[in-house]
Amino acid sequence: MIEVERVSRDFGSFRAVDGISFSIKKGEIVGLLGPNGAGKTTTMRMITGFLDPSAGVIKIDGKRIDEDPEAAKRKIGYMPESAPLYSDMIVADYLEFVAMVLGGDAVGTIPELAKTCGIAEVMHKNVGDLSRGYRQRVGLAHALLHDPEILILDEPTSGLDPNQIIEVRRLIKEIGKTRTVIISTHILSEVEMLCDRVIIIASGRIVADSPTAELRERFGHRASLRVQVAGARADEFAKAAKAVSGVAGVAPCEGEQGFAAARLSVSGDADIRAGVFDLVRDRGWSLREMVMEQNSLEDVFRTLTAGGTEHE
């Protein structure tokens, strides 16, 4: 559905996107992640046709976007982070205006779309009088008016309260059942809930591209064991713990005063707790704490965007 082939984008002497390639199949919900300035928004704007690549090719449904931009854009619905709405218009009038600009039978879809996006009860209100949550929904309705096959959302829950976030996420999940969706967000738990796949960009390059469920296993460790012991120096405990079967790495962590504390990375599906317990007992130390912690997508993101290597 979407093919990005060796695409770069320069702004003067600065290269914001540097030779990235990926493809997205029909029906996928993909999270596009990266720190500020990584090139996420630039990438989305090139896919939507708002920006031209400095190099490379983008195809929508097999056709180059630069050869027939109008046809490509008709397949795409785009909601920027701050949806550009006319605040002095009534919601119903605003959507009708957009529908007339788009042409076709878009006006006839407004009542059903209002119900789908949860804005039926505010159709008579001015856009400027709506809460941010409702404005986001109106922006989503705008993006869906021409029934696009692809939906691109830039920070769709930014600035919303917890209840609004839950509703917008539910809406995106429902819409994603029949469309290809790209979501850019800084809320990593949101990606785990919504996305089938994650693409992580750092410094304009792709550092990870993996199904969400496999990301932690492929680019990090599934779990770690937080341990605190008494009677040992921190360096002494770290050195001994590295020899325990199934321990992939040892890193110091904050602990209580007088205790040696470390976080032990677990290799694969190994259970290292018995080995650590035996180590502490055999050395004559006292075990203060031993807690297994499942690593999050946030841990992987931090590792990859703080100097990880590019993944092809």
| Residue after which a domain boundary falls, among 162, 184, 217 | 217
Q: Are residues 142 and 271 in the same domain?
A: no
Q: Are residues 106 and 156 in the same domain?
A: yes
| Residue after which a domain boundary falls, among 193, 217, 241 | 217
Q: Are residues 213 and 247 in the same domain?
A: no
What per-residue confidence (pLDDT) applies to 8? 96
What is the number of domains present in the chain? Answer: 2
Q: Are residues 55 and 196 in the same domain?
A: yes
**Domain of residue 252, CATH code:** 3.30.70.1340
Span 196-209, average pLDDT:
92
Span 166-174, average pLDDT:
85
pLDDT in tens, 30-57: 999 888 888 998 999 999 999 999 999 9
What per-residue confidence (pLDDT) applies to 219? 65
What per-residue confidence (pLDDT) applies to 255? 87
**Domain of residue 66, CATH code:** 3.40.50.300
**Position with higher pLDDT, 99 vs 105:** 99
Is residue 311's pLDDT more than 60? no
- Whether residue 282 is contained in a domain is answered as yes
Of 35-39, 114-118, 287-291, 292-296, the range with the highest mean pLDDT is: 287-291
Q: Are residues 114 and 196 in the same domain?
A: yes
Q: Are residues 201 and 228 in the same domain?
A: no
pTM across the whole model = 0.74
Q: Are residues 236 and 203 in the same domain?
A: no
Domain that holds residue 263: 221-294
DSSP assignment of 68-80, as one string?
SHHHHHHTEEEE-
What per-residue confidence (pLDDT) applies to 10? 96
- Whether residue 309 is contained in a domain is answered as no
Q: Are residues 176 and 282 in the same domain?
A: no
Is residue 309's pLDDT more than 60? no
pLDDT in tens, 115-132: 888 899 999 999 999 988
Q: Are residues 6 and 129 in the same domain?
A: yes
- Whether residue 304 is contained in a domain is answered as no
Over the chain, what is the mean pLDDT?
Answer: 88
Q: Are residues 44 and 84 in the same domain?
A: yes
Q: Are residues 186 and 241 in the same domain?
A: no
Q: Are residues 162 and 288 in the same domain?
A: no
- Whether residue 71 is contained in a domain is answered as yes
- Whether residue 274 is contained in a domain is answered as yes
Span 294-298, average pLDDT:
73
